[in-house]
Structure 1
Amino acid sequence: MSTYLWDPFAALGRMDREFDEIVRRAWGPRRPALTGRSQSVEFAVPSADVVTEGEDVLINLELPGVDVEHDVVVEIDRGRLVVRGKRDGRREQERAGRVHRERWSGSFRREFQLPERVDASRISAGYERGVLTVRLAGAAAEPKTTRIAVTAASGDHEHESDHDHESASTPAE
């Protein structure tokens, strides 16, 4: 019989990609701007990659141009890592002496189920070059097996030995 080691992050990554694909099929990779014109902006759901690095798990979310200090919240809620925030954008063009300005905004939310062994105090997040990286320290570590000694109560030992002596002294029929 072979054993199978289930990796929750592999399943999580697969489900995350499948969900992204469903959303993209339903809404398309782009959505119309709020002005109602045919101009489009990027879809508000950030792409995510879940990878392991040694005993740590890294969740990388693409958030280019987002002010992570003011517009992004990373929190743990009921055993789930939640990354939520908003994206704002604007564009300005000048043509023939006229200024054309557009603004748009949208919110996003991504959730990831955390394994029970993740210590919330060992989770960190950083932002560099448009990518938010959340590090779950020790999340990919194999659970350690600890053997615990079992001792019998002293009363149980005496009772068993009395019973053994009685059966030994009982005459056979």
Structure 2
Amino acid sequence: MQYYIVDKLDDDEKLEQVLEILIQCDQEFFPSLSSKRGSDTISQSTRLLQYLSEKDLEGHGYVLVEKEGKVIGFCNFYPTYVIDELPNFPEHLHVDTVCVLPEYRGQGIAKNIYAKLMEYTRETKGLEYIGLATWSENWIQEGIMSSLEFEEIGRLENARDQGVDTVWYGKKIR
């Protein structure tokens, strides 16, 4: 498998492959990524395409994971970010979305994406920290964070729904 970073999704074939991954993973997010964009009268794929377009406009970067020329997983991230709700956590690379096609899960791809991001953060961005937000019911992400020695750095109770918190993780990498 090949892991590499791009500044934006300007290759139509790669964009289409990332969109297909998002369609398959969309309902696993809480709330779903497509529910945050547009009305129900707009198709899921159009809403997710809007999501990706917004990320490009916001200056996100992407880690793409390819196997035999096909994108099977990806991550989008803010190259530099400050969490307003956590003023004591410094500027950092902020992971936004990580998705891997279901048939490739359990092979360490997400961990390798984070390893690629930590390397990029150290060598290219010169930042000392990497961080992300998730929800309290995301047990898979929690396990990945634990195995990579990320620490919980903040929690906003009931931010996503009653009983579902937003949880921030961070790690010093320098």
TM-score between both structures, scaled by the size of structure 2: 0.25
Please identify the structure whose Cα radius of gyration is greater.
1
**Structure with higher helix content:** 2
